[in-house]
Structures are given as structure tokens and as C-alpha cells.
Structure 1
Amino acid sequence: MKYFVTSGEDRKLTADSRNALRGSFIELSDGVTHYELTGPEDGDVVLMAGGLTIPLFYWDGLVSELHARGLRTLTCSAYGRGYSDRVQARYDETLFTRQLAELTGRLGLTARPLHLVGTSMGALVSMTYAAQYRSSVSTLTIVGPAGLAKPRLASPNRLLRSDLLAGVVARRRGLQLLQGHLGHNVRDPELGAKLTEMVLGSLRFEGSLYAVFDTLQHLPFTGRDDLFRRTGALGIPTLLLWGDEDDVTPLVQFDTARALLKPQKHHVINKCGHMAPYERPRDVADQLVSFVSARAGRLDS
């Protein structure tokens, strides 16, 4: 799909504009990445990979909970999200995995135990990262993962494989479609409104809708059983979390995920939608901290 800018994208990401924005910035091989490395300096690092549209602010509640329990956190906005560059590239797992690998390397974090957390699309990226950098991953936490729905002939992903159709849909109805998607992510209307405001604010930067829809074209969100199965065979201690009222990746997929990932621990969070780290950060922290504290340390390659 050709790069485009829509009428609602009225802001540009530049060195000057970033001076007034929250977070830190680093130039990687594909572009500038927006990140925050915070928390106790002697704590194990928790690296977080997010979903299709979310900026790093999504993790704020969980970050606060983890800091209070002695863990250090590294959050970043994937390319095309938050204040990271809207790169003119193929938005797929290769791009996002390379971004995480380069970021941890440049920040000097590869020599320490790293606990990897992925939610929704970020779960697919995390699993890809874990396979490539297994020796640097101490634990893997998967939350409400995408990828287990069965491909359908009329699914949006199939329709968007056409560059021409994808470009037309993204330009004409992209923002409307994303707003509808965001409305299904959380149970609490107030939290849902805050989430929508957060995401729409970052979508004002030029190239945002291009980045999201190019991701929908090139990163498969269905039929990824093999990726789950390969991850389960890596031998990485894995925690699986799911919201019981998840309307995006329904709980009916939970048993399949368990069978493929073979997690050491699994837990369903009650009265929780798709975005457990955002909706129920304390509950996620409770599960995550007890899990990683028992398994701190680096796996042998």
C-alpha cells in the first residue's frame, strides 16, 4: 500500500515537535522510537509489546503497579503508534521484532533477565521475538492474544490484501472503523472514553492510518496456531492471562491457547474485557509479579 496522509492528520513528528512531548526518543535503523525506561534501577526489566493502535501510555497503570513491586519497565510505541516514526515500510512482525531487539540492545539491557509481556497484536510480536532471542527472555506473559481466530473468506484482513482497496478503505473510512474497534476493547465506558481519546490523539500525526492499515495488510491476525505451537515448544516459562468478557479475542479461544502454548500458569480475570493491563492493572500485576519472581534469571540458549 502506498504511503498516504489523511485530512485529519494535522500534526508532524519532528525533532522540534518531540521536544514538547512526553517520553524519550532514540534513532534506530528503521526510524525514531518513542520509549520510556523507568522504575527501580536494580529491578529486573519487564518489556511490553502492545496492540494494533495503542501508544505506550496504555501501560501507565501496570507500570505504576510493577514499579511499586520492585520491577523496572521498558515500554515503547511501535512504529506508526504514539510518537514513534510513521515509517514507509512493511508493517509486519519482522519490523516490530527488530524494533524491540534494537531498542533493548541500544539501551544496554540484553545482559539482564528480561520478562516479556505481549497483549493482543503485541502477543504475536512477543512470540516472534521470543523465538529469535530465546536466550535473553526469562519469562513470557501473553494477555488476550490475537491470532487464534480462523481465517474467513470475507474477513477484513483478506479484503485489505488488495493495495487499491486497502488504500480506499483507509482513507475514506479508516478513522471510523478504528473508533468502532476501540469501543469493543474495554467494559467500563469511562475507561473506554479515555482509551479512545488517547489513541485518537496519537492518530493526528501524519501517516498514522497508513501505518495501522498497512499492519492489517501484512501482519496476519488469524490462523496463527503454528506460531503459538512453536512458542510452546521453546521451553520459556509462560503465563497466559485473559479477560472473561473479552469481545475482541473471545474467551472461547482460551483452551486452544493453553493447549498450544502449554503455559506454566494461566488465569482468567473476572469482569474484564480485551485490555486487561489497561482495565485491571493491579490484577495483572498480581499475577505477573508472583510468576516472574519465582522464575527470575536467564534461560540458557
Structure 2
Amino acid sequence: MIWLLFLGLLIAVIAAPFLLEHSRAVMSDGRRGSALGQFSELSQGVTHYHLSGPASGPLLVCVHGLTTPSFVWAPLTKGLVALGFRVLVYDLYGRGFSDRPEGLHDKTFFNRQLDNLLTHLELDERFHLIGYSMGGAIAAGFAATYPARVRRLVLLASAGMTVRNTPLVRFIRDRGIAGKWLMLAAFPTQMRNGTRAEQASQTILPEIIEGQEAQLMFQGFIPAVMSSLRGILAKPMEGEHMALRRIGLPVLAIWGAEDGVIPASAMGQLAAWNRDVTHEVVEDAGHGLPCTHSDAVLTLIKDFLPAPDSDDWGHDT
């Protein structure tokens, strides 16, 4: 009988993370009723987006990171719109109010979402592209794939230069269903610990932390993070950044001096791949610099991009 009890306990332990994931809330039209912005039914599912600023202003597209949806852009969006830019922010699949489609979240997957959204909105002009954290890897991948569509690229605390290669990440990335079990079991606690540590060390607004942690309530969020670890974040973006240098795309990289998520070596690695990148470091900033140091980041972006009312804003290389 003891072995039967042991077997039952083992089955319960194995099943628990999968059952918990299945019990989480499903992102639905009813849940989306409280969202600001609009929705588009695209080829891979519903995408939540918000387009603000003057219709005649130069378009600027913002891509968020691994775990924080598009609300992370709120402080910067306000300033960019005030400068005269037309700003598009959207929730990557698996996050925020967008759908949770299955499939590997690699460069092709994310390129398709942004390409579909721009097509749906009939935005066919060249635009500036800003990527934060994992969004930096996505933005670099999109710019390298569609160089004629991107005018200038801004990378904020960008991923894509190195790969997190701890034993835990390697197991999750490489071990199939066993890796998924560990991801479902361990990630919620790890994420909460990380967000609260960031809040303790930086002046991040409580609503940002609450919004991040609220993602854990919804079915499909944790698998989306895992799929990104196995996809867009599984290898360095060396080829993409070298391609951006060859085509001469202007690139600004902004780093937090106290960033505990992106290693300090990332700046040197990007410089080795593309020596034409302009690098700026925001002192006392951690990984959450779009929220904690939005004024400093806005100033750097303003200095890098042609002014919306200048004669050359639509004509740079």
C-alpha cells in the first residue's frame, strides 16, 4: 500500500503545475472590456494595441519585453506624443490583452505579428522602432528582416547580445515537457521575487509591479514566456546586428548602469558587432529604466530622432 500512496503522491506532484495552469483565467472579450486602446484580429489571433498622437506625425512603434505588457510604455508615450510623434504600442502575443497562440515565439513569429498589425492599420510609411529588453531583440530582428521599413532603431536595455545560460534556464529551454513542468512550477515565484527586488531597488510605480504580476493570473502567459526563452531568446542576434551595420541603419542603445537583468557585457558585445551604434548609459538606472528614468530616456531619444517638425524627419537614411 505504501508504494501506491507514493505513486499517487508522485502523480499529484507531476500533475499539479499543469492543472494550475489549466485553472487560470482565459483572456476573453469580457476581460478585454476594461482595456484602453483597440483590438485587431490578425493571422495568429487578437492583438491589443493603442495608437496615439497626431495623425500627421512620424510613426514610432514600441515593442515591450518578456513579462511586462505594453503599459510599460505609458510614461514614454506621453512624452513622445507631446513631441509630435504618432506612437503605436501593442501587446505581444501571450501578454496583456492579446491572444495566447501556441507555437515557438521566435523571430518569424514576432515579425508576423508586427507586420500583420501594420498592414491591418494601413500604416505603410517608414517608421522609427523602439524595443525594450526582449523587445530589443524583436525590434532588431524586424529591422534586419525589413530594412526598408525602419528609419531608426532605439534599443532600451536590450536582450539579444548574450543568452542566459544558467542550469535552470538550460533545463527549461532544452528539456521538452520536463522543462515545461519546471517552468510552470517555478516561474511564478521567481517572477514575483524579481519584480519585488526591482521595486525595492528602483522607484518603479506600484501599478507597474501589480500589472506585471497580474499576468500570472492568465492561462498562456507562462507558456509564452517559456516559448520566448526557447525562441527569440535562445541565441544571440549577431547576424541581425551585423546586417544592420551593413545597411547603415542608425541605432541608439540605451543601458541602465545598475541593470541586474542584462549583463554589462551586452554593451561591449553589441559594439563588437556594430561599431556604428551610439551607446548611452543612464546612471543609477536598473532594468526598469523606461519607467524609473523616463525623462532621461526621453531626452536621449529626442536627441537621436529627427524632430517631427524638422525638414528632414522623413528623409534620413
Post-superposition Cα deviations, 1:223-267, rounded to whole Å, max 9, x if no partner, equal 433332223223111111111111111233212222323345321
Q: Is the 8 A contact 1:5 1:207 kept in 2?
A: no
Q: Which amino acid aligns with 2:94?
A: G
Q: Which amino acid aligns with 1:226?
A: G
Residue aligned with 1:267, SS: strand
Aligned to 1:194: 207
Q: Which amino acid aligns with 1:108?
A: E
Deviation of 1:150 (Å): 5.5
Residue aligned with 1:296, SS: coil
**Which of 71, 76, 90 is residue 57 of structure 1 equivalent to?**
71
**Which of 130, 133, 154 is residue 167 of structure 2 equivalent to?**
154
TM-score by length of 2: 0.85
- The answer to whether structure 1 residue 167 and structure 2 residue 176 are counterparts is no
Aligned to 1:25: 39
- The answer to whether structure 1 residue 211 and structure 2 residue 224 are counterparts is yes
CA RMSD in angstroms comes to: 2.4
> In the aligned structure 2, how far is the partner of 1:144 from the partner of 1:181?
16
Q: 1 or 2 for the larger relative contact order (CA 8 Å, sep ≥6)?
A: 1
Query: Which protein is bigger by CA-based radius of gyration?
Result: 2
Q: Is the 8 A contact 1:9 1:207 kept in 2?
A: no
Aligned to 2:257: 244
Deviation of 1:127 (Å): 0.9
**Which of 292, 296, 299 is residue 313 of structure 2 equivalent to?**
296
Aligned to 1:287: 300
Q: Which stretch of the first structure deviates more once superposed, 185-194 or 272-281? A: 185-194
**Which of 126, 129, 142 is residue 116 of structure 1 equivalent to?**
129
Q: Which amino acid aligns with 1:137?
A: V
**Which of 277, 281, 295 is residue 268 of structure 1 equivalent to?**
281
Q: Which amino acid aligns with 1:240?
A: A
Percent of residue pairs identical: 28
Q: How many aligned residue pairs are there?
A: 297
> In the aligned structure 2, how far is the partner of 1:269 from the partner of 1:195?
20
Which 4+ residue blocks in structure 1 deviate beyond 6 angstroms?
none
Aligned to 1:278: 291
Deviation of 1:154 (Å): 2.9
Q: Is the 8 A contact 1:174 1:209 kept in 2?
A: yes
> In the aligned structure 1, how far is the partner of 2:164 from the partner of 2:216?
28
Q: Is the 8 A contact 2:126 2:148 kept in 1?
A: no
Q: Which stretch of the first structure deviates more once superposed, 195-204 or 93-102? A: 195-204
**Which of 252, 256, 261 is residue 269 of structure 2 equivalent to?**
256
Q: Is the 8 A contact 1:150 1:222 kept in 2?
A: yes
Unaligned runs of 5+ in 1: none
Deviation of 1:130 (Å): 0.4
Post-superposition Cα deviations, 1:143-170, rounded to whole Å, max 9, x if no partner, equal 1111223564736145422112222112
Q: Is the 8 A contact 1:49 1:126 kept in 2?
A: yes
Q: Is the 8 A contact 1:136 1:298 kept in 2?
A: no
**Which of 84, 95, 98 is residue 112 of structure 2 equivalent to?**
98
